[in-house]
Structure 1
Amino acid sequence: MPVKPPSLWRRFATIAQPYFFPHVRMGGWITLMLMALLMAFLFGVLCVAVAGMVAAGNAFFPELTGRIAGGLVALVQNLFHSGGWLLIASALAVPLLIFSGFRRHLAARRRAWTLLAIVLLLSLSVTGINVAFSYIGNYFTNSLVKKNQEMAYLYVAVYFGGFLIGIPIVAFYGYMRDYLGMHWREWMTGEFVGNYFKNRNYYEIEADGSIDNPDQRIMEDIRSFTRTSLAFLLILLGSLMDLISFTGILWSKSRLLVGVVLVYSIAGTLLTALIGRRLVRLNFNQLRYEADFRYALVHVRDNAESIAFYQGEGPEAQQIGSRFHNVLRNFSLLIGWQRNLSFFTTAYSYLPAVLPFLILFGPYFSGKIEYGDMVQANFAFTQVYGAMSLIVSQIESITSFAAGVKRLSTFAEAIPPDRPPMDGIRSEDADHFALDRMTLMTPDNRRNLIRNLSLALDRKLNLVVVGPSGVGKSSLLRAIAGLWTRGGGIVRRPPLERIFFLPQKPYMLLGSLRDQLRYPRLQEAIPDDELQRVLEMVNLKDLPARMGGFDEAPDWADLLSLGEQQRLAFGRLLIHRPAFAVLDEATSALDRSNESRLYGLLREMGIHYISVGHRESLLDYHDRVLELKGEARWRMVPVPEYREPITAT
């Protein structure tokens, strides 16, 4: 029975929750509960702050406060005389009590919750300012209609006072929102990068091939996820507060208008969601095709010399053109569906501009409400309509966001922090190399490379692996390193930290010459004279002078020949002086003199090694030969015995 894929909400919660709360049973619901309690606490804080300001104004400027906010003074007084203060006290005390109960889970996430609290407090303040401005606008409009010059000037002054308060709040709100998003991105990137490199997940997903463009997912998808998630969270909470705040205002002006906005918004949301479902898949494909197109361009840059030698400009341009065609084809479908959606959303957004006035014409012309009431009702209708129509107004962003969530969640599933051990070749630590009935398959299980290979090497013997191309020589080294585990049997080897692996094409990191020699233990402090001595040992003594010193960081892969790169990699090995080395054609680009010199250095230092190669000269530096013959056949013999047929020939 096929496994049902997780819902979008479950995917989102799996990625977003750990920033605020650890993955525990019911952790998602606990996170939502804590956010709701935080909102209640902040609402209580604002209520206390507003009540304090009103009480202070009424105490020091009673006449002015009564003229400007007489209704608010009465509301605050009634609230405290009716026992409503108990509700506010509960909104403050209960969240503090419950948060303290989860302090063990939240200790490592204190900064995240503090930043979220500041952002939400500012968001609530912005909503409160909008509510206040709606009342100021109502009274200001009525004073104009009544030609009450004194009150008109008074409310202009109140407007300016509101601006002085509101401008820094709104500006600081935007800053703190972006700051929280930056911190969230920093945390998520650290988590994903850590899991990407943990347990060699980066190698597994590259070998598996099911996850495309992990670089884009770490860089762009995480940035988009944190930014958009935070924006949606604040839009959602802001819309909720607008809905609560302005529905009361709308209800006081016209109950019919409340019913109209609810029916209109719900119907529009359902239709938009139905039309927009197709956009999720199209946005997902667009992200993938854009990343594939970019990767093709980067691939050309990384292999420019090889392409030039092959004169492969035509096929490369054709490959890039094919990928760009996929980008354009999918984008054509995407903008077509966006056009269809725009037909509906545009019409849907125009009608509310006049709908409240049409409904309130009757009460206004009959004298039941004033013009300012109608203006305020229209403003409240717009706010409630906007809150209820969140999906309609954000549908394109939501579909793009949903595609990004799917890409991130599949990536997170592919790089688990704790990868369960797979059945196959087992690795055991030992003080020597040994293989016990090892059978090695390719990662796709389609080809058997080696069958029932058993051998043991003591510390005095060095092994060379030979055989035709494609029989699995390098694959055997991957099995020794624990990279390929398909098959069966046991690999006994020293701990990986005691083994140094040298591939045929050395890895040249982005860094200085000093870093090249110290890699992968860049934290080690090694004197320049020691680095220079090692470079002389591998016949690269003039390299620092050529490159401008040990701290220059050019593109080493382009500047050095393959032979120089192989000698530099040997210098890296000599710096670290491991007990064991595994060399995969690590001298294939060197002349006989340099090859002999480097293997002689390994013997002098007492480094035990296994080599893979085709050159007959390699036999001079080894004691045993493992010959892979193809079709999973093999034999291991001493070097003199292996040489006999060659000598006879």
Structure 2
Amino acid sequence: MAEAPQVSRRSRMRQFFRVALRYWCGRTRWRAWALTITVLVFIAAQTAAAVGINRWNRWFFDALEKRYVAAVWATTGWLPFLLGAAALSMCGLVISRMLLQVRWRENLTRRLSGWWIADQRYYRLGFLAKNMTAPEYRIAEDVRLAIEPLVELAIGLITAFVTAATFAAILWQVAGSAEFALGASTIVIPSYMAIAAVVYAAIASLGAYLAGRPLVARVAHKNEMEAQFRAEMTRLRENAESIALIKGDADERSSASESYAKVVAAWLQIVRQQGMIALVLNTNSALFPIVPLLLIAPKFLTGTITMGAVVQVVAAFSAVQAALIWFVDNFVRLAEWFASVTRVDELMEELEALDIGTIMEKEERIALGESDDGAVHLDNLSIAHSNGRVVVADATVTIPQGAKVLIAGESGSGKSTLIRALAGIWPWGSGSIRVPAGQSIAFVPQKPYLPKGNLRTILLYPDSDRDIPDDAITAALQRCGLGYLAKKLDLEEEDWDRVLSGGERQRVAFTRLLLQKPDIIVMDEATSALDEENQASLLRLFDEELNAATLISVGHRPGLEDYHDQKITLERRPAGAHLTSRRLRKSLWRVFRNRSAANEDEGSEADRGR
């Protein structure tokens, strides 16, 4: 697949918000707007409380300057009410902000995880987007890092705007104008404190931007390296037994060290950039309290304003300046937030690519349909790997209802790929697959999946809510050689994936078939972990309890032919056969049919041995 073009930051933001802002539409809109309005109300209340405290400072210090004891005590009496209002507004803002974060994240996580899981996108994504590392981490963690800081940053930005406007008006009113004599002329600068706050904030913001601009890309790279390291550790845990058996500890330790070295290198780049930003921020912190005092001092020394006015102006200047340098204070968080937005948007982009078919031309997809005669039809079916290499081409086969078909062939000939195409999770190719309408289909892989839960949940999966009597479940367990597990049917949850051996897992899969009674059964090496005796016992199910089902199975072990009526042998295609833009090149497809008729033919044994 060709490398995707670089997407601009503006495009990333637009694509992310196109999906994320759907929280304010549809069924969730009433809750979303209610939370949003509540947050805005508490922002207004918090600003009002801050203005009240600012004015209290002027009244209090004016009373101190004039030594009015009664005024001092009267002013002090208002302080508990102002502090209480500030505390309540802050508490309400925190609660409403966290509720908005939780609900918005819930909405986006449900939407994105549902999108990823539906229609086997989680499976196909691994083939189409090999560079898409850890999609589950992007959903679980990057969505959180994209939503939670976004709410806080949005609240901070709104608060900064409201604060800057409110306290700039106070500066305009209280500080007044500045007059400077230049020769015989007098220069008047109206509202010079407000102008000074804006200029100072602009200079500080520009310095932070220049120092921190490279941080976005470096944070994104760090997150990618962290995700790769987690994926490496997960792979080690999931394959722990195989690695331990072949004593691959040294190699895995070396691989883990190399992977973590990339994490360290990425972090060191961030540390260097953070040092540059810290230099700007610490310089600003040192100047922050000094600048307004130096600017207002001349007016106080000339007696133009009172001490209370000085305190009020300094506090208002600090509030305006703090609001206007919001970007400076939050640049690092903005960089980290945008890095998470980028990772979430990349996942959305790949999921959209699956839906709109940008990876593969429409005519090169395998069409899935329904048949009305009870048979499974493969019509001009051609199957290719995701890299374009053809493994099966131009196959036309009809599998009648109730038939038992064995698919054989050497490794790499496309047996398992054909099973995936029948399951509808492998779209690469052309032609069509039609299965009987209204019939249930069960797929049995080589390594059956065992979800979390008790044994009953495991056996009834994926329809764990079915009401099946205990004696029926016990009988199915006994028939499949698992009768000793019947006493654990409703015990506490266990990690069955580790408790059961490979052979036991495969017998669980056959127990599910007995309980489900599907019309069509598709198996892929479903008896590979069983000895010949247990394999024969379970395969007899298709001549007895499951004799009415259509069976399509992949296998190469001896003796499988005895339990099938037909045999399809796939021959491996030579290297170099790939998809073309309009057609698929032909491969060999040989069908050996009708076991009973073949048994009467003198050459049947030779055919069967192939």
TM-score normalized with structure 1 length: 0.83
Change in Cα spacing, 1:312 to 1:494, as seen in structure 2 (3 Å) is farther
Contact 1:199 1:419 in 2 (8 A): no
Deviation of 1:3 (Å): 7.5
Q: After the TM superposition, which residues 258-269 of structure 1 pair with which residues of structure 2 at under 5 Å, given as runs?
A: 258-269=194-205
Q: 2:93 aligns with which of 173, 182, 191?
A: 173
Match of 1:374 in 2: 310
Q: Secondary structure at the match of 2:261?
A: helix
Q: After the TM superposition, which residues 137-148 of structure 1 pair with which residues of structure 2 at under 5 Å, given as runs?
A: 137-148=57-68
1:523 paired to 2:484: no
Deviation of 1:539 (Å): 1.0
Match of 2:170 in 1: 249
Q: 1:533 aligns with which of 475, 496, 500?
A: 475
Q: Secondary structure at the match of 2:431?
A: strand
Q: 1:305 aligns with which of 238, 241, 252?
A: 241
Post-superposition Cα deviations, 1:4-24, rounded to whole Å, max 9, x if no partner, equal 546143144224311113xxx
Q: Which runs of 5+ in 1 are unaligned?
A: 22-104
Q: 1:18 aligns with which of 22, 30, 33?
A: 22
Match of 1:131 in 2: 51
Measured in 1, the distance between the counterparts of 2:305 and 2:398 equals 97
Measured in 2, the distance between the counterparts of 1:261 and 1:358 equals 13
1:187 paired to 2:107: yes
Deviation of 1:349 (Å): 2.7
Q: 1:633 aligns with which of 588, 595, 601?
A: 588
Post-superposition Cα deviations, 1:274-309, rounded to whole Å, max 9, x if no partner, equal 322211111111111112112211222211110011
Measured in 2, the distance between the counterparts of 1:246 and 1:647 equals 91
Match of 2:76 in 1: 156
Measured in 2, the distance between the counterparts of 1:509 and 1:168 equals 47
Contact 1:195 1:416 in 2 (8 A): no
- 1:624 maps to a residue whose letter is Q
1:616 paired to 2:558: yes
Contact 1:201 1:414 in 2 (8 A): no
Deviation of 1:597 (Å): 2.4
Change in Cα spacing, 1:561 to 1:585, as seen in structure 2 (3 Å) is same
Q: Secondary structure at the match of 1:484?
A: coil
- 1:367 maps to a residue whose letter is G
Match of 2:381 in 1: 438
Q: After the TM superposition, which residues 97-112 of structure 1 pair with which residues of structure 2 at under 5 Å, given as runs?
A: 108-112=28-32
- 2:606 maps to a residue whose letter is P
1:565 paired to 2:505: yes
Deviation of 1:335 (Å): 0.5
| Number of corresponding residues | 562
1:234 paired to 2:155: yes
Deviation of 1:128 (Å): 0.7
Deviation of 1:646 (Å): 6.0
Match of 1:55 in 2: none
Q: 1:357 aligns with which of 293, 301, 305?
A: 293
Match of 2:581 in 1: none
Contact 2:50 2:86 in 1 (8 A): no
1:224 paired to 2:179: no
Measured in 1, the distance between the counterparts of 2:407 and 2:31 equals 55
Q: Secondary structure at the match of 2:155?
A: helix
Match of 2:411 in 1: 469
Contact 2:422 2:433 in 1 (8 A): yes
Deviation of 1:420 (Å): 3.3
Deviation of 1:496 (Å): 9.1
Measured in 1, the distance between the counterparts of 2:350 and 2:286 equals 46
Match of 2:391 in 1: 449
Range with greater deviation from structure 2 (329-338 or 459-468): 459-468
The sequence identity of aligned pairs, in percent, is 29
Change in Cα spacing, 1:277 to 1:542, as seen in structure 2 (3 Å) is same
Change in Cα spacing, 1:234 to 1:193, as seen in structure 2 (3 Å) is same
Match of 1:644 in 2: 605
Range with greater deviation from structure 2 (219-228 or 550-559): 550-559
Change in Cα spacing, 1:648 to 1:9, as seen in structure 2 (3 Å) is closer
Match of 1:323 in 2: 259
Post-superposition Cα deviations, 1:528-558, rounded to whole Å, max 9, x if no partner, equal 222212111211011133xx44343211121
Measured in 2, the distance between the counterparts of 1:514 and 1:262 equals 68
Deviation of 1:596 (Å): 2.3
Q: Which runs of 5+ in 2 are unaligned?
A: 177-190, 574-586
- 2:525 maps to a residue whose letter is E
Measured in 1, the distance between the counterparts of 2:158 and 2:543 equals 69
Q: 2:537 aligns with which of 558, 582, 597?
A: 597
Change in Cα spacing, 1:327 to 1:503, as seen in structure 2 (3 Å) is same
Measured in 1, the distance between the counterparts of 2:54 and 2:486 equals 71
Measured in 2, the distance between the counterparts of 1:571 and 1:648 equals 31
Measured in 1, the distance between the counterparts of 2:471 and 2:136 equals 38
Q: Secondary structure at the match of 1:248?
A: helix
| Cα root mean square deviation, aligned | 2.0
Contact 1:15 1:409 in 2 (8 A): no
1:409 paired to 2:345: yes
- 1:554 maps to a residue whose letter is E
Change in Cα spacing, 1:213 to 1:506, as seen in structure 2 (3 Å) is same
Match of 1:428 in 2: 369
Q: Secondary structure at the match of 2:402?
A: coil
Contact 1:500 1:573 in 2 (8 A): yes
Deviation of 1:478 (Å): 0.9
- 2:398 maps to a residue whose letter is A
Range with greater deviation from structure 2 (237-246 or 294-303): 294-303
Deviation of 1:2 (Å): 5.6
Measured in 2, the distance between the counterparts of 1:282 and 1:2 equals 19
Contact 1:503 1:583 in 2 (8 A): yes
Deviation of 1:363 (Å): 0.8
Contact 2:212 2:276 in 1 (8 A): no
Contact 1:481 1:496 in 2 (8 A): no
Deviation of 1:234 (Å): 0.6
Deviation of 1:115 (Å): 1.3
Q: Secondary structure at the match of 1:444?
A: coil
Match of 2:118 in 1: 198
